[in-house]
Chain A
Amino acid sequence: MTYISQPSAPEVPVPEPVSPARQAWRMFRAHHAAMAGLAFLGFICLVSIVGPYLYTVSPRDMVWAPFTPPGASQYILGTDYLGRDLLAGLINGGRITITVGLTAALIAVTIGVTVGAFAGFFGGQVDNILMRITEFFQVLPYLLFAMVVVMLFSPTIINISIAIGIVSWTDMARLTRGEFMRVREMDYVKAERSIGARNAWLIWAVILPNAAPPLIVVAALAIGNAILFEAGLSFLGLSDPNTMSWGRMIGDNRPFILDNSWGVTLPGTIIFLTVLAVSLVGDGLNDALNPKLRHR
């Protein structure tokens, strides 16, 4: 009878194992729009990081006559109502906008995933309390609350990021909670329990990796939302007065939109393209990480 315990007697070649992450990257690469979005975001980030060192014109100095249209001077994108260089504004503003966008999204994801994970994993009273807190934040008027936070504390980059972060984590928490509730009931979680896994291990090392795909998609989109939010706040003048940002450029140039439309449209276009790129990346991630679309 011993022959029975040797399955598949001839040695079959075993295909190279493919990790889920690599498989997702393959799917993502096939999504051309998402790749274009990723390339654009890469470009924006690169310019934001090294741009201010290469293009040393200050975004705050008056460098030429006000209202100079693009192409009419050595400052190729023209100047705004104070004669400030728009290109320098875009480059330096990108830095702030991207930083705030990423930081705020990071804060939102951290709070949201933690709250959602605990609520979804423990359920019962814990879930009840955490979800009531989540609902409290959900019914706050987002912009108003963020404005109050920024006004109360000084409008620094970090305060703005925190303000945006704490008004936008609720969706993340709800999604995480739902995913945790789904994955929690999976057989492999039960199996891990049966061999003595701790709760912390189950939450972070077993359930979270399995719940991650939709969370990654939403986290990517959260960056886009945070960028828009930051633009909104600085349009209203609630940005760090010492820094340039895309939203602030729009806000500053708004009264002169009829004489100097490029002062508004240039940063507006950049914001639009950046958020679009983020959305495309999110879309590509969705395709790449959604198991139902895989192997089509």
Chain B
Amino acid sequence: MSTRLLSVRDLGITFLTDDGEIEVLRDVSFELNSGEVLGIVGESGCGKSMTALALIGLIPKPFGRISNGRILLEGEDLAVASEKRLRQVRGNDISMVFQEPMTSLNPVFTVGHQISETLRAHFDMSSRETWSRAIEMLKLVGIPSPEKRANEYPHQLSGGMRQRVMIAIALVCEPKLLIADEPTTALDVTVQAEILQLFRELQEKTGTAIILITHDIGVVAEMADRVMVMYAGKVVETGTARDFVYDPMHPYTHGLISCVPKLVHNPSYDPAPLLEIPGVVPSLRELKRTGCPFAPRCKNEIDKCRSAEPSLAEIADDHAVACWNRMETAW
């Protein structure tokens, strides 16, 4: 019923550093249907944001480049698209909401101006039309008295309001895909809930597909249809959100979920100690070319992990894991 919107195949990104080219992203493949919410999870430096930037052709130049693979948006390969074409894609087909609402709005213009300028950049519309559309958008993202708020500057708005404005800007051209790069990380918990609720409402209303990048397991569990777990520039597990929470197969996914504290009503319940994944994400520069990148931190490590790198293997319908010695039973 739903159509294939985006299909990423074997995407690889390299960065040129003093030590030569290093691979930031390797063999990243995923599919996204229209109207679907895909969560991308992982620690900092795992390549989540780089994947997102690659989709809109904003890998930091001149050092970074797409070295391999294809990004097919409705059949069109964005990995080889011209800069001019990419500019049309940005905003029109794919747009992005960033992590920091405090700094992602231009401080010298009113928010209404910023929304209507976005429209003006893509469509031939009069300023009166774009302004009324801007106010509509502000109303849509739940900003009270939008006529007044449209005339305000970003510093006069709270963090949550600014993130709402960012979402309004991202959605004003009605993109098919919205990439939200840790959209709630910088917000208070209560505001986070509001923003997530807003994402869900807007998704129902507009049918936009969403790629939600986060390291907040709770957010993914609540929002995403499917989840992709990344580690050191690679996809280590993909599956439905249900599989992700209840049946994680990769030790890394398992570890991520064990890191989340659980709230339990029963006062006599003695909770298991909160677990952590020992160690840190390896620097991509030091990453060994042989073996599983997660092996040094893995509790399930076996000999094979050090010698050969596992590739993503389908273990059930819509559930793939890259691991030699995956978790048998989750919990």
Using a CB–CB distance below 8 Å, which chain A residues touch chain B? Answer: 1-2, 4-8, 11-12, 14-15, 17-20, 124, 186-188, 190-198, 201, 205-206, 209-210
Supplied contacts A186-B103, A195-B173, 7 more A-B pairs, CB within 8 Å: A5-B201, A19-B153, A187-B104, A188-B105, A191-B96, A195-B170, A198-B87
How far apart are the CA atoms of A193 and B152 in the complex, in Å? 22
A/B interface sample: 27 pairs, CB < 8 A: A4-B197, A5-B198, A6-B142, A6-B144, A7-B160, A11-B144, A14-B145, A14-B148, A17-B152, A17-B156, A19-B110, A187-B98, A187-B103, A187-B104, A188-B106, A190-B104, A194-B90, A194-B95, A195-B90, A195-B91, A195-B96, A196-B92, A198-B87, A198-B121, A201-B121, A210-B106, A210-B108
- B110, B166, B197: the one contacting A5 at CB < 8 Å is B197
Asked whether any CB of chain A lies closer than 8 Å to the CB of B28, the reply is no
A-B pairs, 5 with minimum CB distance: A195-B91, A196-B90, A196-B91, A187-B103, A194-B96
How far apart are the CA atoms of A159 and B148 in the complex, in Å? 51
Nearest CB of chain A from residue B169's CB, rounded to whole Å: 6
Q: Could you tell me how many residues of chain B have their Cβ less than 8 Å away from some Cβ of chain A? A: 45
Q: Which residues of A contact B91 (CB under 8 A)?
A: 194-196
Contact: A193 with B58, CB < 8 Å? yes
- B96, B118, B144: the one contacting A7 at CB < 8 Å is B144
Of residues 198 through 254 on chain B, the ones whose CB sits less than 8 Å from some CB of chain A are 198, 201
Q: Which residues of A contact B121 (CB under 8 A)?
A: 195-198, 201
| Given A5-B198, A187-B100, residue A196 in contact with residue B144 (CB < 8 A) | no
Of residues 30 through 81 on chain B, the ones whose CB sits less than 8 Å from some CB of chain A are 56, 58, 62
Contact: B88 with A210, CB < 8 Å? no
Asked whether any CB of chain A lies closer than 8 Å to the CB of B261, the reply is no
How far apart are the CA atoms of A213 and B90 in the complex, in Å? 30
| Given A194-B95, A196-B91, residue A7 in contact with residue B58 (CB < 8 A) | no
Contact: B148 with A191, CB < 8 Å? no
How far apart are the CA atoms of A193 and B83 in the complex, in Å? 12
Nearest CB of chain A from residue B69's CB, rounded to whole Å: 21
Contact: B98 with A190, CB < 8 Å? yes
- A15, A197, A210: the one contacting B107 at CB < 8 Å is A210
Chain A residue with Cβ nearest B61: A124
Nearest CB of chain A from residue B172's CB, rounded to whole Å: 8
Nearest CB of chain B from residue A126's CB, rounded to whole Å: 12
A interface footprint on B134-147 (CB within 8 Å = 1, 0 otherwise)? 00000000101100
Asked whether any CB of chain A lies closer than 8 Å to the CB of B319, the reply is no
Contact: A196 with B122, CB < 8 Å? yes
Q: Which residues of B contact A188 (CB under 8 A)?
A: 103-107
Contact: A5 with B108, CB < 8 Å? no
Chain B residue with Cβ nearest A213: B108
| Given A7-B144, A20-B108, A20-B153, residue A196 in contact with residue B88 (CB < 8 A) | yes
Q: Which residues of A contact B58 (CB under 8 A)?
A: 190, 193-194
Nearest CB of chain B from residue A191's CB, rounded to whole Å: 5
